[in-house]
Amino acid sequence: MAHQPGKFDEPAREPILGGPASVVETACPLDCPDACSLAVTVQHGKVVTIDGSHRNPVTDGYICAKVRKFGERVYGPDRLLYPAVRKGRKGTGQFGRVSWEEALERIASRFEAVKATHGAEAILPYSYGGSNGLLTQDNLDAQLWRRFGTSRLARTVCAAPTGAANMALYGKMASVTYQDYPSARLIVLWGVNPSASGIHLVPYVREAQKRGATLIVIDPRTTALARSADIHLPVKPGTDLAVALAIHRYLFTSGRADAAFLQAHTHGADELRDRAEPWTFERAAETAGIDRESLERVAQLYAASTPALIRCGWGLERNRNGGNAAMAILALPAVAGKFGVRGGGYSMSNSASWNIDRTWIGTPDPDTRCVNMNHLGRALTEYDDPPVQLLFVYNCNPAATVPDQGRVLRGLEREDLFTVVFEQVMTDTALYADVVLPATTFLEGYDFAKAYGPINLDLGRPVVDAVGEARSNADVFGELCSRLGLLDESEPSGELDLMVHVIDQLPAPIGADLRAGSLPAPPFGIAPVQFVDVFPNTPDRKVDLFPAALDASAPMGLYGFQPDPATEKYPLALISPASDRTISSTLGELPRPDVKLLMHPADASARGLADNDLVRMFNDLGEVHCTLSVAPSIRPGTISLPKGIWRRNTRNNTTGTALVPDSLTDLGGGACFNDARVQVTSLAVA
């Protein structure tokens, strides 16, 4: 039987009837900066509505439209309810229900068989932030992979270049939180669109504007915040590095660099100044395709404003220059002397603020093969030392989200590959599984929600019982460890035990607060001032503006610019920004209006295309068929398809990743989503 959503022998679910309802508090652990506190209304043991609560002050009683609809995932037709094994050709979704016992026994025996024939490194665990909490990732799963000796995974599909830059410069020092934005006199939103992701930042930016702050937005699209900005720089994708270096050059050559700060708190300023020297406003503006005067005005305003705050987003990292761009942007407040005042400095991921080093993973990382997750297609089709024989996917949907989709799908189709997908819903990847295991959602179990925008950590509690036979990551990885003889009886193995164990392992005051049901705070509070309350976590507590190791590893050296990969044949830059529909690809199974490719009127006219045309977007890697939206809200030469769409959302079952090369960023080994260069024609003509 071909997979029909929700039809693993599942009887129809009864509708929710009237009756008493209760409101249960929990927290959202999904891969979003905000980690909202939630008030979930439950009736007859089922989720009725999901809303924001006031427990986390930043949530302020409201949440995004995405998670308000999360009940449609929990009870939706795509929800996985039982373990199942493949009955037909890979990718066709033909499965038959089995018991947990049978499914886990099959998996455990395949682990042993692969180890015996090819070695444990022929097993590749594959995961990302689909369930971003501390229980569902890097916990008993890591125990299993490390103790069995599988290949390791470099989780680099997102935040790797910005993370590498933030670590090298500042040792991931805690950064300015949402609550301090209204104190800023100038805010630069660089490669970030909080209206779509991390929405609770928006009112703080608006409040700053009301108080007279200057807003600068740097983004190829005219987002809602760009429309109200004082200056919008619609840069070409991949050129943020040139723009940032031109501002550095201005700071150094105009005497606006803070010599005293540079002397006291940094090293490497001379080398940075040398690398910025060639980037005049003229050259940077031409490279970025922006107005020279506007760029100069941005530099002047930034130099002259205090407090000045740069919000460094993730859009600027997804290209060949992404790591160096993040380095140059994050270095600006050090060169301009913008620290030491509330609302001044930079704002980046605050994920490291809690100093949580996951001591609960009781086994060190083994020295086994490390596979960059952006090279999944290569790993499945080319790696032979050893070949990947068993792929275990969880918290992740690589068939839709990873570069070079065509090669990933060819790999997943391999008949000799045994694929396990442990998931909440029937994803594009699950359709290729040999064994599908149903996972609980965050509403059905415990987890720790750790914000990376505001500084907030909270315990999420089960709101309803597990749906169908879904089980938590902790339970399933614990049981697999036990079956494979990898877990001592004294070690925690179930979700509840593990939750208590994690609390015990957290820094004492944090654990005590969580046990008492209150919101913990790190020692420096939830709104630290950089260089007053927090300092770089580098070995000498100084900002390293020119780390030698990064200079050696970047293809063009540190702050070195790689030119645009566009060709005459493929001149358009495709970007895939976050949308208001999905969290990465989570919730992509829900119905949505037709997914549209956004194109500037000049590009459409040059191709004889009009609004609502069916188009073919293509390059040498693949093609995507979808509807066109023509609007001036994107710069000419750049087109945009939403991030996180599923294969079902386009006319030919591909996503934008079908056009994305699996090349890596200059620093951090990240994905170059925005380096896809394509052509677009009418589908009718094609």
Binding site for ligand SF4 (CB under 6 A): 28, 30, 32, 34-36, 63-64, 66-67, 199, 583
Q: How far is the CB of 26 from ligand SF4 (least distance, A)?
A: 11
Cβ distance to ligand SF4 smaller for residue 123 or 583: 583
> Cis omega (within 30 of 0) on the bond before 386?
yes
For residue 471, give the 3-state DSSP assignment.
strand
Query: Is the Cβ–Cβ distance between 160 and 668 less than 8 Å?
Result: yes
Q: How far is the CB of 188 from ligand SF4 (least distance, A)?
A: 22
Q: How far is the CB of 458 from ligand SF4 (least distance, A)?
A: 11
Q: How far is the CB of 135 from ligand SF4 (least distance, A)?
A: 17
Residue with tokens 């302020």, as numbered in its chain: 60
Cβ distance to ligand SF4 smaller for residue 67 or 628: 67
- CB count within 10 Å of CB 408 equals 28
Cβ distance to ligand SF4 smaller for residue 28 or 276: 28
Cβ distance to ligand SF4 smaller for residue 36 or 208: 36
Smallest CA-to-CA distance from 556 within 274, 242, 320 is with 320
How far is it, in rounded angstroms, from Cα 404 to Cα 449?
32
Q: How far is the CB of 454 from ligand SF4 (least distance, A)?
A: 10
How far is it, in rounded angstroms, from Cα 571 to Cα 607?
12
DSSP per-residue codes, 43-87? ETTEEEEEEE-SSSTTTTT---HHHHTHHHHHSSTTB--S-EEE-
How far is it, in rounded angstroms, from Cα 139 to Cα 143?
6
| DSSP letter (8 states) at residue 445 | S
> Cis omega (within 30 of 0) on the bond before 220?
no
How far is it, in rounded angstroms, from Cα 94 to Cα 242?
50
Query: Is the Cβ–Cβ distance between 640 and 576 less than 8 Å?
Result: yes
Write the CB contacts of 490 (distance below 8 Å, at least 6 apart in sequence).
none
Cβ distance to ligand SF4 smaller for residue 32 or 499: 32
For residue 532, give the 3-state DSSP assignment.
coil
Cβ distance to ligand SF4 smaller for residue 635 or 643: 643
Residue with tokens 């979700």, as numbered in its chain: 495
Determine if residue 397 is left, alpha or beta; phi over 0 gives left, psi from -120 to 50 gives alpha, anything else beta. beta
Cβ distance to ligand SF4 smaller for residue 201 or 486: 201
Q: How far is the CB of 33 from ligand SF4 (least distance, A)?
A: 7
Cβ distance to ligand SF4 smaller for residue 30 or 217: 30
Q: How far is the CB of 55 from ligand SF4 (least distance, A)?
A: 12
Q: What per-residue string of b and e applies to 147-167 under the rule 16 or more CB within 10 Å gives b?
A: bbebbbbbbbbbbbbbbbbbb
Smallest CA-to-CA distance from 203 within 179, 176, 231 is with 179
Query: Is the Cβ–Cβ distance between 354 and 134 less than 8 Å?
Result: no
Strand partners, 42: 22, 47
Q: How far is the CB of 586 from ligand SF4 (least distance, A)?
A: 9
Q: How far is the CB of 35 from ligand SF4 (least distance, A)?
A: 5
Q: How far is the CB of 166 from ligand SF4 (least distance, A)?
A: 21
Cβ distance to ligand SF4 smaller for residue 12 or 65: 65
- CB count within 10 Å of CB 612 equals 12
Q: How far is the CB of 81 from ligand SF4 (least distance, A)?
A: 24
How far is it, in rounded angstroms, from Cα 585 to Cα 157?
13
Cβ distance to ligand SF4 smaller for residue 371 or 451: 451
Measured in whole angstroms, the distance separating CA 270 from the mean position of its chain's CA atoms is 34
Cβ distance to ligand SF4 smaller for residue 197 or 473: 197
196 φ/ψ angles, rounded to the nearest 5 degrees: -105, -30
Cβ distance to ligand SF4 smaller for residue 583 or 626: 583
Q: How far is the CB of 521 from ligand SF4 (least distance, A)?
A: 19
- CB count within 10 Å of CB 438 equals 26
Write the CB contacts of 329 (distance below 8 Å, at least 6 apart in sequence).
190, 240, 244, 310, 312, 316, 346
Write the CB contacts of 405 (distance below 8 Å, at least 6 apart in sequence).
377, 399, 622, 654, 655, 657, 658, 660
Q: How far is the CB of 182 from ligand SF4 (least distance, A)?
A: 20
Cβ distance to ligand SF4 smaller for residue 69 or 414: 69
How far is it, in rounded angstroms, from Cα 318 to Cα 177?
23
Cβ distance to ligand SF4 smaller for residue 34 or 513: 34
Q: How far is the CB of 195 from ligand SF4 (least distance, A)?
A: 11
Cβ distance to ligand SF4 smaller for residue 332 or 583: 583
Q: How far is the CB of 478 from ligand SF4 (least distance, A)?
A: 26
For residue 143, give the 3-state DSSP assignment.
helix
Strands 95-97 and 84-86: antiparallel
